[in-house]
Structure 1
Amino acid sequence: MRKSFLGACLLPLLLVTAAACTKSDDGRDVASVGGTAAPSPTPSLSMLEQGIRYAQCMRAQGVAWPDPEVDGDSVRILGADKNVDADVLNKAEEACKPYQPTLSGPERERKVAGGLEFSRCMRENGVEDFPDPDASGPGDADDSVRKDPQFEQAEVTCRGRMRPSSGPSS
Structure 2
Amino acid sequence: MRTRFLVACLLPLLLVTVTACTTSDDGGEVASVDGSAVPSATPSLSLLEQGVRWARCMRGHDVPQPDPEVVNGDGIRFGGAHKDGVDAGVLEKAQEACERYRPVLPASDMAHKVELSRLFARCMREHGVANFPDPEPDGRFDIKPPVENDPQFPPAKETCDAQEDAASSSGRAHE
Q: TM-score surpassing 0.5?
A: yes
What are structure 1's unaligned runs of at least 5 residues? 1-28
Distance 2:96 2:60 in 1: 13
Which of 100, 103, 111 lines up with 1:101 in the alignment? 103
Structure 1 residue 115 displacement after superposition: 1.0
SS of 2:76's equivalent?
strand
Distance 2:151 2:79 in 1: 24
| Mapping of residues 113-132 of structure 1, within 5 Å | 113-132=115-134
**Equivalent residues, number:** 138
Q: Which residue of structure 2 aligns with residue 88 of structure 1? A: 90
Which structure has the bigger radius of gyration? 1
Distance 1:149 1:64 in 2: 22
- Structure 1 segments, 4+ long, off by >6 Å, are none
Q: Which residue of structure 1 aligns with residue 61 of structure 2? A: 61
In structure 2, the CA distance between the partners of 1:108 and 1:79, relative to structure 1 (3 Å rule), is: farther
Q: Which residue of structure 2 aligns with residue 144 of structure 1? A: 146
CA contact 1:110–1:166 (8 Å) conserved in 2: no
Asked if residue 37 in structure 1 is aligned to residue 37 in structure 2, the reply is: yes
Distance 2:41 2:133 in 1: 26
Q: Partner amino acid for 1:86?
A: A
- State the superposition RMSD in angstroms: 3.2
**Identical aligned pairs, as a percentage?**
50
CA contact 1:69–1:77 (8 Å) conserved in 2: yes
Q: Which residue of structure 2 aligns with residue 77 of structure 1? A: 78
CA contact 1:43–1:102 (8 Å) conserved in 2: no
Distance 2:166 2:110 in 1: 15
In structure 2, the CA distance between the partners of 1:162 and 1:117, relative to structure 1 (3 Å rule), is: same
* TM-score under structure 1 length normalisation: 0.62
Q: Partner amino acid for 2:75?
A: S
Residues 14-49 of structure 1: CA deviation (Å, up to 9, x unaligned): xxxxxxxxxxxxxxx757xxx322214435532112
The structure showing larger relative contact order (alpha-carbon pairs under 8 Å, at least 6 residues apart) is: 1
